[in-house]
Structure 1
Amino acid sequence: MPAPSQLAIATSALNRLVKEEASYHKELEQQSARIAKLEAGEGADDENAEYILRQHKQALEQTKAVFPPLKQKIQDALSKLEQQLEQDKAQASPEEATKAQEAIAAGQNALKESA
């Protein structure tokens, strides 16, 4: 089995980052929902409720802090993939080129959503 091309590697890297970002958005929503439940008073009889709420808020802030560096990584991977696609256009198989174009579209969409 031949080694993956640079185009395939760049495509996979961008796809991984886009999935990672989607995962963090999902985690952010879940943490926000947990905080809303705690603030609404569910579990208020627990003597550690204040501490738990503070811990959840801290986790939420840590998750939010992940987005700026991740956005930069997506931008870098996106530009690298675009350059690689231009360089390998003649040698790349149609399947690789299509996957690269789809990854570029997904990366651009992820950047638009996070803006």
Structure 2
Amino acid sequence: MPAPSQLAIATSALNRLVKEEASYHKELESQQARITKLEQGNDDDENAEFTLRQERKALEETKVMFPQLRQKIEDAKSKLEAQLEQDKGPGDQSSPEDITKAKEAIAAALHAIREAS
């Protein structure tokens, strides 16, 4: 099996970052739901205040990740676009399938960036 091309590697990296960002969004929603539940919950639990404080801290830590992740996605997208441009020259070693996957990854990254803004 031949080694993956630079285009395939850059595509995989961008796809991983887009999936990671989606995962953080799911985590954010989950944390917000837990906080809402704790705020509306019964006060019988003596650790409720501590748990609520911890959940809010985790929520803030998750929010901090978005700007960093967005920058990583933009950097990976730029790198992939440059690699795609470079592979258009003579001696093109990328398969049409790799090129299609790269373009799909760029579209997914643009969508993720627009949603985050």
Q: Is the TM value for this pair above 0.5?
A: yes
2:109 aligns with 107
Distance 1:51 1:96 in 2: 50
Listed as ranges, the gaps of 5+ residues in structure 1 are none
Q: Which residue of 2 aligns with 1:71?
A: 70
Displacement of 1:91 after TM fit? Answer: 3.0
Q: TM-score, normalised by structure 2?
A: 0.95
Task: Measure how far apart 1:63 and its partner are.
Answer: 0.4
**How many Å separate the matches in 2 of 1:44 and 1:18?**
39
Q: Any stretches of 5+ residues in structure 2 without a counterpart?
A: none
CA displacement at 1:44 relative to structure 2: 2.0
| Identity in percent | 72
Query: Counterpart of 2:75 in structure 1: which amino acid?
Result: D
1:9 corresponds to 2:9: yes
Could you list the per-position Cα deviations for residues 63-91 of structure 1 after superposition, in whole angstroms to 9, with x for gaps in the alignment? 00111110000000000000000111233
**CA distance in 1 between partners of 2:109 and 2:48 (Å):** 40
Q: CA RMSD in A?
A: 0.8
After TM superposition, the score normalised by the length of structure 1 is: 0.96
List 4+ stretches of structure 1 deviating above 6 A. Answer: none
